[in-house]
Amino acid sequence: MEYFVDINNVSLNYGQEYDTLALHETSLQVKKGQLIAVVGPSGCGKSSLMKIVTGLEPISAGEIFVGGIKVKGPQNNVGMAFQNPSLLPWRTIIENILLPLEIVEPYASKFKISIEEFKFKALTLLKKVGLEGAENKFPWQLSGGMQQRAQLCRAVIHEPELLMLDEPFGALDMFTREELWLVLQDLWISKQHTIILVTHDLREALFLADKIFVMSSRPGKIIADFFINEPRSRELKFLYNDKSAKMLLELRNSIHSAREDNNTV
C-alpha cells in the first residue's frame, strides 16, 4: 500500500439544496507515518477536507481510502483535535483524556477491568506533554495552552492510525503555539502517527510538516505542494534561516495566488 490516506478526485456539495460546492475534484495522498499540512485562503474547504477524511461528511463524488479501506462513514482509527479544546467541563483532565477509551473499541469493552492500565497510560502522556500533576484538575482550572496539551493527549490515547488536527493552536498566543509545536513534534517522533494538520499559520506548517499542500479558493482543490527537506527533531531557530524565509515567501505567494483564483466549475 503506497498511501495510507488516498483522496481521489473528491467533490463535496452541501447546503439545503446541495447547491454549494465546497470541494471540486480534490486529490491528496499521504504516506503512512507522514505529517502533512494543508494551507489555503479562508473558506477554501480545509475543514471540509477534515470532515470527509474522517467520514463525518459524505462526499458527492470520488473516493477516499484510509489504510486501504474505502471511507463510507465515521472512522474509529482516527484521532481529532480542534482549535477549541472541547474538554468536558464536568470531568477532570484525566477523565477527559480517558474518554476515547470508554467509547472506542477494542478498548471500550474492557474499560472497567483495564482502568488502572488506562490511567497509567494517560498519566504517561500527561507527563510527556508537561502536565504532570494536573490530572485531577478541571479544564477551567487550566490555561488555554494547557487545555490544548490535554486535548492532544485525548486525541492520541487510543493510538489512532491517523491524527487529524484542525487549527489546534490557532487561538493561542505566539509563544504558547511555539511551545506546543515542540510538544506535537515530540509526540510524532515517539509514535509516528500519520498526521494531517490544517492551519492558517505558514510558520507552523513549515516547522511541523514533511509536506505542505496549498488549496485554491472555493471550490477548493490542491493547486501546489512543497516538500520540507529538514530532518527532525527541528529547533525553532530553523524558522529564522534564509532557506526558511525563502520557502515562507513561496508559500505566501501561493496563498495569494489561491485567493485570487476564481476558477469556475
Count H helices and E strands in the chain, helices first: 7, 10
pLDDT in tens, 8-55: 999 998 766 666 788 999 999 999 999 999 998 877 888 888 889 999
On average, the pLDDT of the chain sits at: 90
Whether pLDDT at 264 is above 80: no
pLDDT at 116: 96
Q: Which residue has the cell 491528496?
A: 28
Mean pLDDT is highest, among 3-7, 17-21, 258-262, for 3-7
Domain 1-73+204-265 has CATH 3.40.50.300: yes
Whether pLDDT at 260 is above 70: no
Whether pLDDT at 149 is above 60: yes
To the nearest whole percent, how much of the chain has pLDDT over 70?
95
pLDDT in tens, 44-76: 888 888 889 999 889 999 999 999 999 998 887
> What stretch of H or E contains 52?
helix 46-53
Contact 190, 128 (CB under 8 A): yes
d(CA 223, CA 260): 13
pLDDT at 97: 97
Whether pLDDT at 218 is above 70: yes
Dig out the grid coordinates for 189 from the structure.
Answer: 517522533
To the nearest whole percent, how much of the chain has pLDDT over 90?
63
User: Which residues, in sequence order, are CB contacts of 90 under 8 Å at separation 6+?
Assistant: 138
pLDDT in tens, 81-109: 888 888 999 999 999 999 999 998 889 99
Task: Enter the DSSP assignment of 141.
Answer: G
pLDDT at 73: 87
- The domains of the chain are located at 1-73+204-265
How many other C-beta atoms lie within 10 A of the C-beta of residue 132? 11
Whether pLDDT at 261 is above 90: no
SS3 assignment, position 30: strand
Burial 158-192 (b: 16+ CB within 10 A, else e): bebbbbbbbbbbbbbeeebbbbbbbbbbebbeeee
pLDDT at 96: 97
